[in-house]
Structure 1
């Protein structure tokens, strides 16, 4: 059985007249809308015109920047075709001005989409959901690096932690989620382990998300910033300190993929993600597997620049939406990507 589904604010970066693959297909004819901002009502949002600025093949889900288009061409970006680049050598290396956001409707085989998921996994969030459904306040502590601070989301409402808080709030209007963001930009799991008592335990969270790994995997002089063994021990310390001090739902967040052309990318993000998957099983806690979803996006034709707003390691608004999809699986056993 199929139905029409709307994809909102999928991101793309166009290079010349190269074909770009939209994430879903077949697309409903006439449904594609492009603009410069996630929010179509944003005061600075500029809309683009089909036929003039872009051309769509609705059956294949391919979209192309038209010649003479008002959409900026990424071949004009300072990092275009640069390999092993050092971002510190450039004043502006962001993809912000080159990123467009796309709404469209597509035909979804609902039975096939459900086949990739098991039963709802909300037991990983049992404590939080019970408090909300009983009309109480649930404290959500966000822990991690710059991505967890909301790095590169255009507004806080688009950052993954706020998307998650909003999603949880819909489970019971009687309760409310209070977000306490204790993430620090540039931090590794070593820093997180050192401050867990003061910044996590002291806040008595009902829900804790732990989002480390991106900075830990950074490559400096041939070595990662935090070796895998030390990374695992740091995450264990955070988990165990939290569990010793009350009933807390803990969700480990695997990191997205950084730009493989950045000089500090180790290529080992998958190994750090695997540590979190293994710890999730061992401690019987949730794992929001963003890394898996991210790789599915890349394998489906997405480019790093279309997902990373800083062109290095910070997701754009759509990238933060992908993080949300990983949490959706934990809440209800479903998500937008299989």
Structure 2
């Protein structure tokens, strides 16, 4: 059977419910900003779905959530009308992501075979990848009615993707209109996902949640108090090639913002090159008539991996095509990567609306959250003292901060990534001895010494190890043997790297070793600092100055200008880590120990002070946007 025909047939079901159901929707659905808060940032995950699969032997059922649970706030059926009871209907262990149902639970469960149908028994041929019958097709809300909604507080915020922040550059014109409260015209052009298929509103069932495009408009309206007009030209069963034929219709609406959302149907076999060429043609068609119009490109969710008609390898290839087009005035909403990560943690049956290629209510909310995050700034981050979760065998060596709100901590033999509250997102073992670290352009750079540190004869073995800031996978290692007495710290300025390290007793100056972006040695800089015990341990460039932390009885803080000319030496310990967080604000690290002697890490705020170098701030928090 022809792939395109399959998708057109599926689209025959994508007809919105009207009449009394629509009237009930208006009475039941209530907008809440919490539902549109990005789930990867929020303390509480709202109404995350699980489709519980029953074990045919034990009679129990289980399902998994995206994050480990600190506290389950409520579990309801998908309509939201029925509330279930902990200990009676469900069980969970704090710190685990698994929810288990007792045999006599009132929560709906299904046998594995219930999600299959015999071959050729459905109107559409949805043969399972294993050849054993077909995937159950949900024409309206069949999957929705089998799923259960869990609202819970996270025990961990680990989320390896670096999510796009508000696009103040790429979508500057759109943001300017929104912030001024001016009307905004938006055109959406896409496939059946963008028509709203399998949202409960579209299906005419409780809780009647709108589809992603309507949630997107509603959230922007509420946040900016602007009048936003959405023209939705999407048609089910279509590919990017069809989208090219619709550009005249797009232009008729004279949009300020165009959202292009194709890929699901293309994945039936269209090459990434053909897909990319069609998206480029749409962009060119819009820009030739309306050069000021801004564009969001949506990389599609993934379809069911058990349906072989979808070529799963094409989704990331399509996403890569789109990412290459994000030049001036064009932003990417990357649902492909988000969906892939969700499927690492959950089953497709938890997230699907129709069993094969549509999202359920939660998926529509995630679409809206990803889109809204491009146009709604994060709430001002309250910068305050931070304690890194956990304890470690090695002491803290340094800290750094990325541009997405993650902190990186080097504990000698472990590298840890946390959020701004110190909650662990990733933790990996590393070689002894990992020292101070810095962040630059999506990567974390760590000063590493594998030999003798501070040896007068120079028996060090100095390296810089490079880690992907999302996954903490090591992606490179650079020898920096010019650092004669052992690499201990590293900083970055204008894509040049500066490595510091050991200093034998009696040497009355410190050294900074400069490398270019490919770690070719540039030169050795001299700091007239006088001797410091074990040299320099930590380094950061902030507010036009270099700040260096050192060991020793007085734990001296050395401050220099950008050319390493001394500006002061102070009795202020920054030897375990220092990093700038806002104008005139730096985080300084300390390393308390547990009663059993295990090492921990904390950060306190300080501001520059002419007399003392730095001055600790009171423990109150303050906004980084003040």
TM over 0.5: yes
Q: Of Structure 1 and Structure 2, which has the larger fraction of its residues in helix? A: 1
DSSP 3-state at the match of 1:235: helix
Shift of 1:151: 1.3
Q: Alignment partner for residue 73 of structure 2, among 29, 32, 37? A: 32
Residues 18-65 of structure 1 show CA distances to partners (whole Å, capped at 9, x for unaligned) of 54222123412xx33112236x3xxxx222222222111122132012
How many angstroms apart in 2 are the aligned matches of 1:188 and 1:34? 38
Q: Could you tell me which residue of structure 2 aligns to residue 307 of structure 1?
A: 351
Q: Kindly indicate whether residue 209 of structure 2 is the aligned counterpart of residue 155 of structure 1.
A: no
Distance 1:183 1:232 in 2: 19
2-side partners of 1:96 and 1:286: how far apart? 31
| Partner deviation per Cα, 1:265-285 (whole Å, 9 max, x = no partner) | 21222212221122225x651
Seen in structure 2, the aligned counterparts of structure 1 residues 115 and 276 have a Cα distance that, compared at 3 Å, is closer
What SS does the corresponding residue of 1:123 show, helix, strand or coil?
Answer: coil
SS in 2 for 1:51: coil
Match of 2:340 among 295, 300, 318: 295
Q: Structure 1 length as normaliser, TM-score?
A: 0.83
Structure 1, residues 200-226: CA drift from partner, whole Å, max 9, x if none?
A: 1111111111100000011xxxxx1x3
Alignment of 1:32-51 (within 5 A): 32-37=73-78, 40=80, 45-51=81-87
C-alpha spacing 1:86/1:264, structure 2 compared with 1 (3 Å): farther
8 Å CA contact retained: 2:76, 2:148: yes
Distance 1:332 1:269 in 2: 27
Rounded Cα–Cα distance in structure 2 between residues aligned with 1:141 and 1:166: 15
Superposition map of 1:262-277 within 5 A? 262-267=307-312, 268-277=314-323
Measure, in 1, the Cα distance between the counterparts of 2:300 and 2:349: 16
Contact persistence 1:79–1:93 (CA under 8 A): no
Shift of 1:264: 1.4
Q: Which moved more, 1:66-75 or 1:236-245?
A: 66-75
Q: Which runs of 5+ in 1 are unaligned?
A: 219-223
CA contact (8 A) 1:255 1:269 kept: yes
Which has the greater radius of gyration? 2
Matches within 5 A, 1:1-338: 5-16=43-54, 17-28=60-71, 31-37=72-78, 40=80, 45-75=81-111, 77-79=114-116, 83-84=128-129, 86=134, 94-107=142-155, 116=162, 120-155=166-201, 157-173=209-225, 175-198=226-249, 200-218=250-268, 224=269, 226-246=270-290, 247-267=292-312, 268-281=314-327, 285-299=330-344, 301-332=345-376
Aligned residues: 317
- Name the CA shift for 1:152/1:251 in 2 (closer, same or farther; >3 Å): same
Checking the alignment, whether the CA contact within 8 Å between 1:86 and 1:263 is kept in structure 2 is no
User: Which deviates more, 120-129 or 305-314?
Assistant: 120-129
SS at match of 1:263: coil
Distance in 2 (CA, whole Å) between partners of 1:33 and 1:164 is: 26
Question: 1 or 2, which has the higher strand percentage?
Answer: 2
Question: Do the aligned partners of 2:297 and 2:333 also contact (CA within 8 Å) in 1?
Answer: yes
TM-score for both structures, normalised by structure 2: 0.47
Matched position secondary structure for 1:279: coil
Q: Secondary structure at the residue paired with 2:374?
A: helix
Deviations 1:155-191 (A, max 9, x none): 2653211222123223422x21111111101111111
Q: Is the Cα contact below 8 Å between 1:4 and 1:107 reproduced in 2? A: no
**Matched residues in 1 for 2:279 and 2:326: separation?**
11
Structure 1 stretches of at least 4 aligned residues deviating more than 6 Å after TM superposition: 88-93, 112-115, 335-338
Give the CA deviation at 1:308.
0.7
CA–CA distance in structure 2, aligned partners of residues 103 and 253 of structure 1: 27
1:332 CA displacement: 4.7
- What is the SS of the residue equivalent to 2:231? strand
Q: 1:244 to 1:124 in 2, by over 3 A?
A: same
Query: Counterpart of 2:177 in 1: which secondary structure?
Result: helix
| Aligned counterparts of 1:87 and 1:117: Cα–Cα separation in 2 | 32
Which structure has more RCO (C-alpha within 8 Å, separation ≥ 6)? 1
Give distance in 2, aligned partners of 1:4 and 1:208: 28
